[in-house]
Amino acid sequence: MKPYALKNFSERYIKDKNINDVGCYVWTPYLNIKSEYRDDFEIYDDEEYASVSVPYTDINELLDDPFNYEWCMGSDFDEYEYEDFISELIKKAEHYLVCAYACTWDRRTGYKIVDELKDAFYRDYDCHQCYSGGSQGGKSICITEYSHDAPMGYRTMIIGLTNKEYEKLSYWDVDFDTVIKFADEHSKKIIEI
């Protein structure tokens, strides 16, 4: 059995890719592009002085020196590319439960329910997110997140909710343990990559 996301991506492509970097572009000198990829880029200046925009997630593959790049004016974020990528990891749902286990400096667990998939991945702090597995049918995925508070990483479940599940879990008086138990049950269906 394979997770749903492997219908859309190869394991090599998504393994260890920082989801937050998908859609980010940086600038590098044209001559830093490996010779076999140079024809893929248009330049308008002399090769010696030209710079090109490259996907940040591909710098190790495309660049001779993967440390020779700049974030600068003109660096770009392709929101459509990012949204296309995350929508291939999990099936579309009206609502999503996001449950993060031991995610704070004191190892607390928490959850939120969101209506948009991109909000399931959004954090208001810097973090690195890597896909680590998913269910075969695409209802849920597991990502590993790394942040300042948890540099060794923690597990986060993202689960697409049916309307019935949403109604059951979204009221203000729902017991915390009920929601965590629901996420725990779905975590048992995760196929790790």
Domain assignment of residue 85, yes or no: no
Neighbours of 151 (CB within 10 A): 9
- 171 and 104 in one domain? yes
169-188: pLDDT as tens digits: 988 789 999 999 999 999 99
- 177 and 97 in one domain? yes
- 138 and 95 in one domain? yes
- 8 and 96 in one domain? yes
Domain assignment of residue 82, yes or no: no
Helix (H) or strand (E) holding 176: helix 176-187
Domain that holds residue 164: 4-19+90-192
User: Dihedral (C-alpha) 148, 102, 88, 27: value to the nearest 10 degrees?
Assistant: 0
- 123 and 136 in one domain? yes
Structure pTM?
A: 0.89
* Structural tokens at position 103: 């995610």
Domain closes at, from 52, 77, 102: 77
60-118: pLDDT as tens digits: 999 999 999 998 765 688 999 999 999 999 999 999 999 999 998 899 999 999 999 99
